[in-house]
């Protein structure tokens, strides 16, 4: 039961943070930013298995022959990972485009003389390994997970938070607890790790 509660609590934390926590190999699609920087969702990021493709008409890989070998960017020549940790990883997870920008789509509209920037749909494909290992998980995230697990454990017998309980002729008063109330206890710990963009 405790393992189930910890998984449940870490799921809530990942949802609040807007990013996955635990390290694994990932394939993600992004829209171009029109700047030199592109922030990956799962952090920290290692340079091992980091590959990037840029295809304006990629549409999340649904178009035939999208993200082929011609669209692959070379690390150190076309892009770089911002290394900001002593162990050679990137805590920020920022990809920097060298001598260029992460392409944004542009379009034209009838009646307008010049083109304009539109939303980009899955034009950048990134495969990488990102997230924390069990040993490298920051203390704040551990504390938040443990606190939520402890609160969920007290709720386990009845499924709701108990406000009072008497022994003889058992009487229980419950408070309909909500997810926002429980998450409110740990938001101060989680805020520095939150993805505010996604």
pLDDT, tens digit, for every residue of 21-76?
899 999 999 988 888 999 999 999 998 889 999 998 888 999 899 999 999 999 99
Cα torsion angle, 37, 41, 44, 50, sign: negative
Flag whether the pTM goes above 0.85: no
- Residue 198: the pLDDT is 46
- Residue 163: the pLDDT is 64
Question: At 48, is the secondary structure helix, strand, or coil?
Answer: strand
Predicted confidence band of residue 184 (pLDDT cuts 50, 70, 90): confident
Strands (E) across 55-123 are located at 72-73, 79-81, 94-97, 106-107, 116-117
Spatial separation of the C-alpha atoms in residues 187 and 45, rounded to whole Å: 24
The better pLDDT of the pair 7, 101 is held by 101
pLDDT, one tens digit per residue, over 93-119 is 999 999 999 988 777 788 888 887 777
Strands (E) across 31-158 are located at 37-39, 45-54, 72-73, 79-81, 94-97, 106-107, 116-117, 124-130
Q: Which helix or strand (DSSP H or E) is residue 187 part of?
A: helix 187-190
Provide the token pair at 147: 């606190």
Cis peptide before 44 (omega within 30 of 0): yes
pLDDT, one tens digit per residue, over 154-164 is 776 655 666 66
Q: What one-character DSSP code corresponds to residue 74?
A: P
């Amino acid at each position: 039961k405790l393992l189930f509660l910890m998984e449940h609590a870490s799921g809530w934390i990942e949802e609040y943070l807007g990013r996955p926590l635990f390290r694994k190999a990932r394939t993600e699609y992004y829209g171009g930013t029109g700047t030199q920087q592109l922030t990956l969702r799962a952090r920290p990021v290692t340079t091992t298995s980091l590959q990037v493709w840029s295809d304006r008409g990629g549409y999340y890989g649904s178009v035939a022959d999208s993200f082929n070998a011609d669209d692959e960017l070379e690390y150190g020549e076309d892009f770089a990972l911002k290394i900001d940790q002593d162990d050679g990883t990137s805590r920020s997870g920022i990809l920097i485009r060298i001598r260029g920008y992460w392409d944004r789509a542009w379009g034209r509209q009838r009646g307008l003389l010049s083109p304009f920037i539109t939303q980009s749909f899955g034009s950048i494909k990134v495969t990488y390994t990102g997230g924390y290992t069990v040993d490298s998980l920051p203390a704040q995230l551990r504390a938040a997970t443990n606190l939520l697990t402890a609160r969920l454990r007290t709720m386990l017998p009845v499924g709701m938070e108990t406000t009072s309980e008497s022994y003889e002729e058992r009487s229980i008063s419950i408070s309909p607890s909500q997810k926002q109330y429980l998450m409110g206890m740990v938001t101060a710990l989680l805020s520095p790790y939150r993805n505010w963009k996604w």
